[in-house]
Structure 1
Amino acid sequence: MEGKPIRVLLAKAGLDGHNRGIQLVGKALRDAGMEVLYGGLRITPEEVVEMSIQEDVDVVGISIFSGGLMTIIPKIFQAMQQNEATRDIPLIVGGILPPGDAEALKAMGIRAVFGPGSDLEEIASFIRGLAAGSAAKEKAASG
């Protein structure tokens, strides 16, 4: 991973058109030296998998503010787990969450859940840690 910027796919899931938060996160990650790819609005689980493979991303971040989080995020996670090429890519989530949903998502395997007002530097630092862990696993497997 040395010399190569961390590649992060950010996208909106569900019927959500609210993109202010994801734009702020994207800018903060770019400012932190990461390469941010924006997957757009209303992304499907299949599109997440396809873009993750095509763009060779290190981390996927999905934002949802319109509800339906516990419907769409498990579908995205399952689609990523079913594809060997995306199985090991960490998935993080941001948005407005009802109480208890963050714990349920983490129990499912979502690596982190960030709500409104989350510290942008903390998000960038967390992603750096995820990417470093993935790179270490990759090096050990090849090595």
Structure 2
Amino acid sequence: MVAGPTQTGPGSAVPRRVVVAKPGLDGHDRGAKIVARALRDAGMEVIYTGLHQTPEQIVATALAEDADAIGLSVLSGAHLTLFARVLDLLAAEDASDIVVFGGGIIPEADRSQLLERGVAGVFGPGTSMAAIVEWVREHVPEREVG
């Protein structure tokens, strides 16, 4: 799913491009789709990768789509491993400027580990879509054209 308007010209801002992904074997994507829609409705371009993506596929998509951010949704309990692998792959591609954030069922103790590792933001169940949209606007800079 790719959504959101693109206007280009000297001095105009390009909408933020966000890849929303479901890494691993977790088959529950309702939350990821809700976040993707909220970001799209806020004027961002969103690329939703679908279920069962590997970290390699997610990073390849982010690079191919010239993404500004990657939002990961993990409910399987493999968040520490999956987030770390995405960060490592981005670093290997010299693409650590792509902001990584995510959410799901992530214990508080693991949230601090993810943040220390380089994940920019972690959201749990009950986080409002308005809060996530605002966070992305504050932490993912818009790019200027021209």
TM-score after normalising by structure 1: 0.87
Quote how far apart the aligned CAs of 1:122 are.
Answer: 1.1
Instruction: For 2:12 and 2:116, locate their aligned partners in 1 and report how far apart those are by CA, in whole Å.
Output: 31
- The answer to whether 1:98 aligns with 2:107 is yes
Runs of 4+ in 1 over 6 A off after TM superposition: none
Compute the RMSD of aligned alpha carbons.
1.8
Instruction: For 1:131 and 1:99, locate their aligned partners in 2 and report how far apart those are by CA, in whole Å.
Output: 24
Higher helix share: 1
Deviation track 1:92-130 (CA, whole Å, cap 9, x = no partner) reads 011001230110000001000001111111111111122
Alignment of 1:73-92 (within 5 A): 73-84=83-94, 86-92=95-101
Unaligned runs of 5+ in 2: 1-10
Instruction: For 1:67 and 1:13, locate their aligned partners in 2 and report how far apart those are by CA, in whole Å.
Output: 11
2:32 to 22, 33, 43: 22
The sequence identity of aligned pairs, in percent, is 39
Relative CO higher for 1 or 2, CA cutoff 8 Å, sep ≥ 6? Answer: 2
Instruction: For 1:99 and 1:52, locate their aligned partners in 2 and report how far apart those are by CA, in whole Å.
Output: 27
**Residue type of the alignment partner of 2:120:** R
Deviation track 1:30-86 (CA, whole Å, cap 9, x = no partner) reads 1111111001111112112211111011110010111111121111111111111x2
Instruction: For 1:93 and 1:79, locate their aligned partners in 2 and report how far apart those are by CA, in whole Å.
Output: 16
- The answer to whether 1:38 aligns with 2:40 is no
Unaligned runs of 5+ in 1: none
- The answer to whether 1:131 aligns with 2:140 is yes
TM-score after normalising by structure 2: 0.86
**Residue type of the alignment partner of 2:47:** L
Instruction: For 1:95 and 1:26, locate their aligned partners in 2 and report how far apart those are by CA, in whole Å.
Output: 14
